[in-house]
Amino acid sequence: MTPVIQQNVSLRAFNTLALPSTAEYFCSVSEHSQLLQALELARTSALVVTIIGGGSNIVLAGDIPGLVIQIDLRGVSHRYVTAAGNATGDLANAVDVTFAAGENWHQQVLFCLDQGWYGLENLSLIPGTMGAAPIQNIGAYGVELADRLISLQALDRQSGELVCFDRQSCEFGYRDSLFKHAGYDRYIIVDVTLRLSTKPEPNISYPALSAAVEAFCRREGLTSEAITPRLVSNLVCEIRRQKLPDPALLPNAGSFFKNPLLKQPQLNALLAQFEDMPNYPQPDGGAKIPAAWLIEQCGLKGAERGEVGVHDRQALVLINRGQASGAELLALAGEVRQSVEQRFAISLEIEPRIYGVN
Ligand code: FAD
Ligand code: NAP
């Protein structure tokens, strides 16, 4: 089926910040052939292409010229992994699951739990699509996508070919990947394969999660035996619902800034000045600093500026209080960055991708 291309489409419902923005042309593609046709049409009409998934990590600062393609490719398949070198074909407690890029992340986490496929439970309730997950190597509660990714397939917009990337070639980092650097705007991810475990091995090392698990077990009179991946998923959802605003009720894009990674000299200089500054050591001797703490120290937690604000329970989240424009939101982001820069000499990096700035 040929893709339906619409003109002058409002993108308010296609971004979780609910920012007003109009796509010059828009189409949603649910089949690979539709994606190819949409790209060909853009090429022959000299239209710039913008790819979106669930719109939960983008800031629409204005109207979007050219063609916006929403990736809605669907389908899930799996293959149980055989133990290496085992002639009898015994299974290796692992399953490789391939998800088409348009599948919803959280729904697939729940689907996998239902199948008895484990390893994604800490990443419950992250909005967005499977295909966007590798872009920033999504992570939460001590687990990140890179821990599970085996490979992904992407359409190379330069050559028109499908390319397979293994984990190493994705160049994953902290909320980072090749697709934010050398692969920027070049690849359209069409499916993602994750290796999951058929043996429950809950990871509750993240302090906020282990505290929630302990409190739950104490309250219910349970021992550590009762800690299942399903329980971990439920508790992650519970913590997130307590702390993070639901975009459907209070539009937001999750963390607006990345947690800065400081090198040792800067870290030591700051700790000499701010000895209570929380910091999480990194392999290079530096540390990761929670950006929420930096923002809070600047007195900006809960700040309101017209239609935008800094969330009062999680300072890393900027919110649209109703009728905000992208420009207002970026002005607040600028104020936050400037305050943190002045007080700590740390330059906060914006996490979502900004579109529609001339
Ligand atoms: P979009 O916002 O639609 O797109 C994001 C970027 O990816 C864009 O640049 C787009 O061009 C590109 N892209 C999308 N799909 C494809 C594709 N198929 N191929 C190539 N490029 C593509 N993130 C975390 O890491 N951890 C969290 O815990 C977390 N919590 C969040 C909580 C809330 C309430 C919200 C609103 C966001 C949160 N996020 C979190 C951020 C966001 O959910 C993730 O980054 C998610 O992966 C974005 O998916 P999306 O489909 O919405 O992508
Ligand atoms: P939190 O538990 O209040 O912790 C604040 C920050 O400190 C986190 O971002 C986390 O970094 C870091 N941290 C805490 N304990 C750590 C430890 N033991 N080792 C290393 N780093 C540690 O965070 P939160 O805001 O409630 O979020 C909970 C989790 O969900 C975090 O993993 C966060 O990244 C994720 N999350 C992400 C988004 C997003 O949009 N990107 C939105 C909401 C939540 P890490 O980020 O490295 O974990």
Tell me, yes or no, whether 92 and 18 share the same domain.
no
| Residues in CB range of 112: below 8 A, 6 or more apart | 97, 118, 119, 120, 196
User: Greatest CA span in the chain, whole angstroms?
Assistant: 67
The per-residue pLDDT for range 187-214, each reduced to its tens digit, is: 999 999 999 999 999 999 999 999 999 9
The per-residue pLDDT for range 322-346, each reduced to its tens digit, is: 999 999 999 999 999 999 999 999 9
pLDDT, residue 1, reads: 85
Tell me, yes or no, whether 124 and 57 share the same domain.
no
The per-residue pLDDT for range 226-278, each reduced to its tens digit, is: 899 999 999 999 999 999 999 999 999 999 999 999 999 999 999 999 999 99
The rounded Cα 43 to chain-centroid distance in angstroms is 29
Which of 177, 197, 217 is at the close of a domain?
A: 197
Q: What residues are annotated to the active site? A: 175, 255, 351
Query: Which residue's CA is the nearest one to ligand 1's atom 49?
Result: 128
Which of 162, 178, 197 is at the close of a domain?
A: 197
The per-residue pLDDT for range 97-134, each reduced to its tens digit, is: 999 999 999 999 999 999 999 999 999 999 999 999 99
d(CA 104, CA 2): 23
Other beta carbons within 10 angstroms of residue 24's beta carbon come to: 16
Tell me, yes or no, whether 187 and 117 share the same domain.
yes
Residues framing ligand 1 (Cβ under 6 A): 16, 51-58, 71, 101, 126-129, 131-133, 135-136, 138-140, 175, 188-189, 244, 247, 252-254, 353
pTM of the model: 0.97
> Any idea of the CA torsion for 27, 30, 31, 33, to the nearest 10 degrees?
0
Query: Which residue's CA is the nearest one to ligand 2's atom 21?
Result: 280
- Across 307-324, average pLDDT: 97
Query: The domain that contains 332 carries what CATH number?
Result: 3.90.78.10
Q: Which residues of 311-344 are buried (b: 16+ CB within 10 A; e: fewer)?
A: beebbbbbbbeeebbbebbbebbebbbebbeeeb
Domain count for the chain, please give it.
3
Which of 354, 98, 106 lies closest to 240, judged by CA?
106
Tell me, yes or no, whether 86 and 185 share the same domain.
yes
Atom of ligand 1 nearest to the CA of 102: 18
Would you state the structure tokens that stand for residue 186, as one six-digit string? Answer: 């070049």
Q: Which helix (H) or strand (E) holds 153?
A: strand 149-156
Query: Does residue 15 form part of some domain?
Result: yes
Question: 3-class DSSP state for residue 348?
Answer: coil
Tell me, yes or no, whether 180 and 256 share the same domain.
no
Residue 288 is part of which domain span? 252-355
Q: Which amino acid is at 205?
A: S
Query: Does residue 86 form part of some domain?
Result: yes
Ligand 2 centroid, distance to 259 Cα (angstroms): 8
Which of 56, 71, 86 is at the close of a domain?
A: 71
Tell me, yes or no, whether 184 and 96 share the same domain.
yes
Tell me, yes or no, whether 182 and 85 share the same domain.
yes
Q: Find out whether the beta carbon of 314 lies less than 6 Å from any atom of ligand 2.
A: yes
